[in-house]
């Protein structure tokens, strides 16, 4: 098995297929499934639970990731404490927070933590070491065996090959009953990663989200980190734009000044305005603030419900555009409303129940 897995790694980095015929025979799934058309289908069919090629094509909105909280895999106290945190996504870390001498023990500690706890509704993920580091195979050979694993965060993603390698490993190692449940989250941390964003975003249907890793990105480009964060504006907006184009979530940078609540709130507000769907967290004290900021505003939810009710009412009459509260509503606004309601539901918000006939009786809405 070890030889075969190493062959997968070589195949992902361009070794001729004929040299690895026996390895290729062990996987029945093509490397690349998603095209721009497939991504568009995902965007249009937001309620679909269809399985294609053994992989769920649900939109990532079905798994909210407002706060993506990192837990060092070698710290037993923090692993135990993570059971009680309320983050949407708990990421057990095997990469930067774990010393080289503790990688092996951290893998087993994370495996034990995954097997022993439920974490309520939190998604359970593991951040492996970077593909090409020489550590990723050992990471995946351990953590993929648990049926509790729901996502893998891949750090330092440079190209589609990194995503495709991990996806093939899932097909080879993970229990068959859990393969369709494991999502991939790509962390973009370099100039090359930003340049290859479209290739990365369309690499594999398991990919659910893009992360912007600010510190590594600034180090790669030699940027000077400033309180304004303007030096990262281009990269952050590239992440959001690409993620939105291909139906993925976008997770914003870590607030490294974790004891300063005002800075955290400022970064959350800015990230929401940019279009990010969530934010990374490194301290439990950051989670509640992040989760609150990345929920839709209740006023937006109320307006979105009005729009959806109006759409339901007038579409039955064959009417395309209509008016709500004095403003014209057409398909782009309806899509916005759908996303707002979906995010609100995923975040556990109470959705106002408006009767379509009463809410759109001509007082608030009329056809155009």
CA angle, 170 then 174 then 177, to 5°: 115
Q: How far apart are CA 169 and CA 48, in angstroms?
A: 26
The sign of the torsion formed by the CA atoms of 89, 92, 93, 97 equals: positive
Q: Which of 321, 286, 279 is nearest to 65 (CA)?
A: 279
Q: Which of 153, 131, 129, 139 is nearest to 69 (CA)?
A: 153
Q: How far apart are CA 162 and CA 173, in angstroms?
A: 17
Lookup: tokens for 144: 């993929």
Catalytic option among 257, 330, 355, 361? 330
Map tokens 């093939």 to a residue: 168
Contact residues for 210 (Cβ-Cβ < 8 A; gap 6+): 185, 186, 187, 188, 197, 200, 201, 239, 242, 243, 248, 249, 250, 251
H or E stretch covering 89? strand 89-93
Whether 330 sits among the annotated catalytic residues: the reply is yes
Q: How far apart are CA 21 and CA 296, in angstroms?
A: 50
Lookup: tokens for 321: 């555009």
Q: How far apart are CA 205 and CA 28, in angstroms?
A: 15
Give yes or no for a contact between 270 and 243, defined as CB atoms under 8 angstroms apart.
no
Q: How far apart are CA 277 and CA 275, in angstroms?
A: 6
Q: Catalytic site residues?
A: 330
């Amino acid at each position: 098995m070890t030889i075969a897995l190493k062959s997968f790694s070589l195949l992902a980095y361009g070794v001729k297929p004929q040299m690895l015929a026996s390895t290729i025979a062990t996987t029945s799934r093509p490397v690349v499934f998603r095209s721009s058309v497939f991504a568009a289908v995902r965007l249009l069919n937001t309620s679909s639970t269809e399985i294609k090629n053994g992989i769920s094509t649900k939109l990532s909105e079905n798994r909210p990731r407002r706060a993506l909280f990192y837990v060092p895999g070698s710290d037993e106290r923090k692993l135990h404490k993570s059971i009680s945190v309320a983050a949407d996504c708990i990421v057990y870390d095997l990469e930067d927070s774990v010393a080289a001498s503790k990688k092996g023990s951290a893998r087993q500690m994370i495996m034990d933590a995954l097997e022993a706890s439920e974490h309520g509704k939190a998604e359970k993920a593991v951040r492996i070491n970077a593909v090409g580091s020489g550590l990723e195979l050992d990471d995946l050979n351990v953590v993929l065996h648990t049926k509790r694993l729901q996502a893998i965060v891949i750090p330092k993603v440079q190209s589609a090959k990194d995503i495709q390698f991990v996806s093939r490993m899932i097909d080879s190692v993970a229990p068959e009953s859990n393969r369709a449940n494991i999502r991939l989250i790509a962390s973009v941390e370099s100039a090359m990663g930003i340049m290859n964003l479209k290739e990365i975003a369309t690499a594999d249907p398991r990919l659910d989200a893009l992360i912007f890793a600010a510190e590594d990105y600034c180090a790669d480009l030699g940027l000077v980190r400033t309180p304004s964060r303007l030096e990262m504006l281009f990269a952050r907006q590239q992440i959001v734009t690409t993620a939105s184009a291909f139906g993925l979530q976008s997770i914003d940078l870590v607030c490294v000044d974790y004891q300063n609540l005002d800075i955290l709130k400022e970064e959350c507000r800015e990230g929401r305005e940019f279009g990010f769907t969530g934010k990374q967290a490194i301290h439990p004290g950051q989670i509640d603030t992040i989760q609150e900021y990345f929920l839709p505003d209740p006023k937006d939810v109320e307006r979105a419900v009005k729009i959806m009710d109006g759409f339901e009412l007038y579409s039955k009459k064959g009417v395309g555009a209509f008016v709500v509260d004095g403003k014209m509503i057409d398909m782009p606004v309806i899509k916005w409303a759908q996303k707002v309601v979906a995010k609100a539901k995923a975040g556990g918000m109470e959705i106002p129940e408006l009767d379509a006939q009463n809410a759109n009786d001509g007082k608030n809405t009329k056809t155009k």
